[in-house]
Amino acid sequence: MQDKIYDVIIIGAGPAGLSAAIYTGRARLSTLIIEKEKDGGQIVITAEIDNYPGSLPHESGPSLIGRMVEQAQRFGAEKVYDTVVEANLTGDVKRVKCKKGEYAAHTIIIASGAHPRPIGCVGERELIGKGVSYCATCDGAFFEDMDIYVVGGGDTAVEEAIYLTKFGRKVTVIHRRDQLRAIKSIQDRAFQNEKMNFMWDTVVTELHGDGILESMTVKNVKTGEETVIHANEDDGTFGVFGFVGFLPESALYADQLALRNGYIVTDDNMHTEIPGVFAAGDIREKSLRQVITAAADGAIAAMEANAYIEGYCLVNAG
């Protein structure tokens, strides 16, 4: 257990956590960021960020996050790579127990985001990294000139499918309805791409393979008809990328904070119901989960943490 009591502990180094760190750093609050694995959260597995103001044309997620990390460090935030296993959020001093150490702070900003939701079919778990992936940027190149299937119909699925056409000979989106959820501009790009194909009203029920993905069973949800798709003989395998939404990393806080559908409930100013505890970014219940909204949440949470420490209220402060 460290003796030091930080002003702020930020859990998660994605766009929400890093934005919070930029603001707490500039407010001269002693700040510790705890990151489980890699800086960046979901955006490190995003091939292209088109809609964050000021991002460079065709900028990748890792490039954008690299600049955010550099900016947060410039303002003095400390960072440890550790996994939170327990958090005691009540009281004036909050305590966070991790696998490698224990940390304490007067305020906590929970910005641990969300992880990809599994497709939910038989054989999926066994074939992760052996044909099944949730990251086009990481694994697309393994399927050079092979067939690639993308499951899902939202912005992520369709954008990542377009990116995967750089690698695959053909990319087929498998969607459970007959209309995409993705916004129109993304749909237009997908429909104009000659390598893109669509399998409508279809779900993946089983993935098969001995050590590597060799075939899959898909089912038409309207007719009930099942079809088995085999790998091209010369390739021996193919890629299945799941982009069917995300699940919030909130289980650790379920006994202390209010959750709705797994997301932490906050007010408009990122306050949870525990004084000094804030949530920001994709882990928070809200309508729009984007880099820009995560960054905005982080900034608000940071300034609210500052006000909490200084003992004043920001709202309507004039």
Could you say which of 81, 154, 169, 215 contacts ligand NAP (CB under 6 A)? 154
Residues 6 or more apart whose Cβ sits within 8 Å of residue 30: 4, 6, 7, 8, 78
| Residue 66 sits in the site that holds ligand NAP (CB under 6 A) | no
Give SS3 for 23: helix
Catalytic residues: 135, 138-139
Distance CA 178, CA 200 (A): 5
Region binding ligand NAP by CB under 6 A among candidate stretches 127-135, 142-150, 205-213, 284-292: 284-292
Cα-based distances in Å from 14 to 112, 210, 219, 281: 7, 36, 36, 8
| Residue 297 sits in the site that holds ligand NAP (CB under 6 A) | no
Q: What single-letter DSSP state applies at residue 238?
A: -
Considering only residues 122-141, where is the footprint of ligand NAP by CB under 6 A?
none
Q: CB of residue 5 vs ligand NAP: minimum separation in angstroms?
A: 36
Q: How far apart are the first and last CA of the chain?
A: 41
| Residue 157 sits in the site that holds ligand NAP (CB under 6 A) | yes
Q: Which is nearer to ligand NAP, 81 or 200 (CB)?
A: 200
| Residue 153 sits in the site that holds ligand NAP (CB under 6 A) | yes
In degrees rounded to 5, what are phi and psi of residue 94?
-90, 140
| Residue 120 sits in the site that holds ligand NAP (CB under 6 A) | yes
| Residue 159 sits in the site that holds ligand NAP (CB under 6 A) | yes
Q: What single-letter DSSP state applies at residue 284?
A: B
Residues 6 or more apart whose Cβ sits within 8 Å of residue 292: 51, 52, 53
Could you say which of 152, 168, 248, 276 contacts ligand NAP (CB under 6 A)? 152
| Residue 185 sits in the site that holds ligand NAP (CB under 6 A) | no
Residues 6 or more apart whose Cβ sits within 8 Å of residue 136: 45, 47, 160, 163, 164, 241
Minimal CB distance residue for ligand NAP: 154
Contact letters (x/-) for ligand NAP, 232-271, by CB under 6 A?
-----------xxxx-------------------------
Q: Which is nearer to ligand NAP, 185 or 232 (CB)?
A: 185
Strand partners, 78: 32
How big is the CA angle at 38 (ends 238 and 174), to the nearest 5 degrees? Answer: 30
Tokens of 93: 């001093």
Q: CB of residue 11 vs ligand NAP: minimum separation in angstroms?
A: 21
The site for ligand NAP (CB under 6 A) is made up of 50-51, 119-120, 151-157, 159, 176-177, 181, 203, 243-246, 288-290
